[in-house]
Structure formats: C-alpha cells, structure tokens
Amino acid sequence: MPRKPSFSFLQTPYGWKVEIPATLSQSGKRERAFFKTRDKARDYAQEMETKHRALGTNMLTIKPSLAEAALRAEEILTPTGASIVEAAQAFRSNWDALHASCAFGLAVTDYLKSRSDLRGTTLTSYRYTLEKVCADFHSKTLSAITSKELNTLLVKKGATAARMHRANLSAFWRWAAKSPRGWCRKDTLESLEAPRSSNDSDIQILKPADVKALLRAAEAECPAAAAAYAIAVFGGVRMAELEKLTWGDVGEEHIEIGKMIAKKHSRRLVPVCPSLKAWLDATRGDAEDDSPIVPSNWADVSKSVRRRAGWNVAARLLAEVIKAGKLKEMPKATRGDWPTNACRHTCASVQVAIGTPLEELTFKFGHSGGHDLLRRHYVSRLTKKDAVAILSIGPNGEKVSNLNVA
C-alpha cells in the first residue's frame, strides 16, 4: 500500500517548501512549491491536504495491475513529454467526439432533406457528390474521416469537377459541424488542397458551322426546339433557366429572367437581338403567354437535336424514329462529345467579339465573377468575322442582315 502523502512544510535556503503529489499537481508529476513565509506555506499545505481528503480513500490504494499499466503508459508517453493525465484527457475528448458523431451516409440523408428548397439542378449536384462520389465514406463515422482521405478523393477528379465536388462537400461539412449537430470538425476542411485552376480546354465554344448545324437540326426536330436553341445561342440563357421560361417572359426588346428562374436568384434582362427576334418570330406560332418554351420531354428532344447535328449523344427519340421507319439510320457522330454550356459560352464570345461592353454583359449573363471572369473566359475566342457569321444565321435557311454590329 502506498504511503499517505505528507503535506508538511520545511524551511530551505530557497524558502518554505511544500511537497505536492502527482495526483494533485497540474502536470500529473510530483512537484514542489516554495513560499517566502512560513504562514503561506502552512496555509497551502492545509489546502492540499483538504483536496486530498476530498478525492476519497480510493487514492490510497492502487491495484498492482493499475500501477503496472501506469508505468507502461508513462514509458510510451515519455518521448512526447505528455503526462498520463494529459493523454487520458486527449483520449476522452476524441472518444466523446467520435461517439457523438454520425455515419456519413445517415448525415447525407438528413442534409439532403433539409435542403429541399434548393433549385433542382443544385440539389442534383449535391446528391451526385455526396451519394455517388463519396459512396466509400457512407459507412464511416464523420468525425473519423480525415482531410487526407478527402484530398485523395478529390485529387482524382479534373479541375472543374474537383471544384464542384469540393464546394458541395464543404457546404455539407459545415452543416454537419454546426450546432446542435457537431458531428465533425470544421478544421478538417481547412487542410483540403486548393482546387487546380481550370485551363482553356475547360471552356469550349461553337464555330459558325457548328451553330448552323445545331439550329438546322433543331428546326428539323420541331419549332419548340428551334426556339429554345436560338434563345440559348443568341441570348446566352442557361439550359436550367430555359426550361422554366414561358412565352410570356419574352418581350419585344428583352427576355425577362425572373428572380425565381435565375440561377443566382437575381432578376436580369436578356436583350432580343435581331438574330434572336427572327428565330422567335418564326417559331412561336400561336403559343399562349403561359405556354412553356421547351416541350415537356425537353431532355430527350435536346439530345435528339444534338445527335442530328452530329454530336456524340445517345438519342432515344431518334432511335424510335428509325424503328418506325421514318429515318434510315442514326446520324454519325462527326463532331465528338457535346461541350458543356457550349451555347452560353458561344453567345458570350460572340458578344465580346462584336464589342459589347463588359458592364452590359455582366448584367445580361448574370455572372457573379464580374469583368475579370468575362475577360478570362471569352476575350479573343472568336474573330469579329466569325461572330458576325454566327449572328447572320437565320431560320429557314435565310440570312439575318440587320445586325447593328459596329
């Protein structure tokens, strides 16, 4: 049985000394305290003795197995300089965090339910990142996932995809770390590597021949498809916004992209240039103001148009047309894969090439990146000659001449 500690005070050349046992010291090691006067030493010794009694008699008896474990633990901790008490406190903190956490997959389910108010495309993007790309994490506890594991996941992706997944994952992680959940640590995100900058190949535009083929294919599909792609090419309207537009949003001088339609939830007006007006006049027909511009099966119609024009797109509607004997064979994919946001990028490049002020384009396109983004992405993509050639493409094989290009 260990000897009961004595809190006597002795006079030394350095002052009045009081011995402090490891069980009561802040460092977890035996310490000595020195005081200038006998009274201060005595008061401190009495305080220590009171604390010792308050801890209970169980400290006076230590099981041999516990003493042996303490010695082994002290050996392990010696290189670190940490005491057994400090190590135990750190372990308990991590243990509490781990057991207060939640499985990644369950957290994702709760998160997606809480974000049901988001735009459909945004929610789909979150779902793809968290359910598909992060599938290997679903059974893991959130607090156990490290920055290194997240970096390993993102580094496999291209620059554009990595930025998207990092943004989606960050939004989810901040939500999971926020009270009252507290399922993970916010600083896990701080160690994520910055996404690589995208290069010029990330943005692709259509040449005049591509635009002509696309619009002619849209005309062959149906008037609604021709109107939709004309708005995309000559107005730069996003596809997700286009699907929500009605003919009532189309005016004589501009198309209104309302707050509830716009990606950035900020109303903007898209000017109706002579080229776009020619296409709208040729395709609207007797459609009412509340009629949607794109057909209900727009996803399939859009794929059919692009395959007709020569892009490598799986087109279910064209396959049905061929099966019905109305088309001999599937058009050959001579133009490769369809470039992402090609119509919008083409429209912006055309406007920059003909000298449209960047201030006007920032509002027209709803770009949050401002002038720098427009310069970086669209300047010198097209010559003015090619831009005019694109704007000259009219419906029914006609040429638009009154372009008002400086």
CB 153 within 8 A of CB 104: no
Pairing of strands 31-35, 15-20: antiparallel
Intervals of CATH 1.10.443.10 along the chain: 208-397
Task: Give 56 or 148, the one with higher predicted confidence.
Answer: 148
CATH architecture, domain 208-397: Orthogonal Bundle (1.10)
- pLDDT at 141 exceeding the cut of 50: yes
Question: Which of 144-153, 239-248, 361-370 reaches the highest mean pLDDT?
Answer: 239-248
* pLDDT computed for residue 194 by the predictor: 66
Q: How far is CA 180 from CA 76, 117, 142, 359, 383, in A?
A: 37, 21, 15, 44, 56
Average pLDDT over residues 32-40: 86
Contact 377, 348 (CB under 8 A): yes
For residue 291, give the amino acid letter: S
Question: Is the model more confident about 234 or about 47?
Answer: 234
More confident residue, 194 or 281: 281
pLDDT of residue 377: 66
Q: Quick check: helix, strand or coil at residue 32?
A: strand
For residue 384, the tally of other CB atoms under 10 A from its CB is 14
Look at residue 200 in the predicted model and tell me its pLDDT: 44
Predicted confidence at residue 370, as pLDDT, reads 52
Residue 207 carries which side chain, given as an amino acid letter?
K
Q: How far apart are the first and last CA of the chain?
A: 100
List the strands of the sheet with 9-12, edge to edge. 9-12, 15-20, 31-35
Segment 281-286 shows an average pLDDT of 93
Average pLDDT of the residues in 72-88: 80
**Does the structure show a pLDDT above 50 at 228?**
yes
Radius of gyration of the chain measured on its C-alpha atoms: 35
- pLDDT category, 57, cuts 50, 70, 90? very low
In 3D space, the residue among 137, 228, 229, 222 whose CA is nearest the CA of residue 184 turns out to be 137
DSSP calls for 313-360 = ---HHHHHHHHTTSSSSPPP--S-SPPTTHHHHHHHHHHHHTT--HHH
Correct CATH for 104-198 of 1.10.10, 2.50.20, 1.10.150, 3.40.1000: 1.10.150
Lowest mean pLDDT across 151-160, 231-240, 320-329, 390-399: 151-160
The answer to whether the beta carbons of residues 381 and 353 sit under 8 Å apart is yes
Instruction: State the pLDDT at residue 246.
Output: 94
Domain(s) labelled CATH 1.10.150 in the chain stretch across: 104-198
pLDDT 10s digits, 86-134: 777 766 666 555 555 688 999 999 999 998 877 777 889 999 999 999 9
Share of the chain above pLDDT 90, in %: 33
pLDDT band at 395 (very low <50, low <70, confident <90, very high): very high
Return all residues near 289 (Cβ < 8 A) that are at least 6 apart. Answer: 246, 247, 248
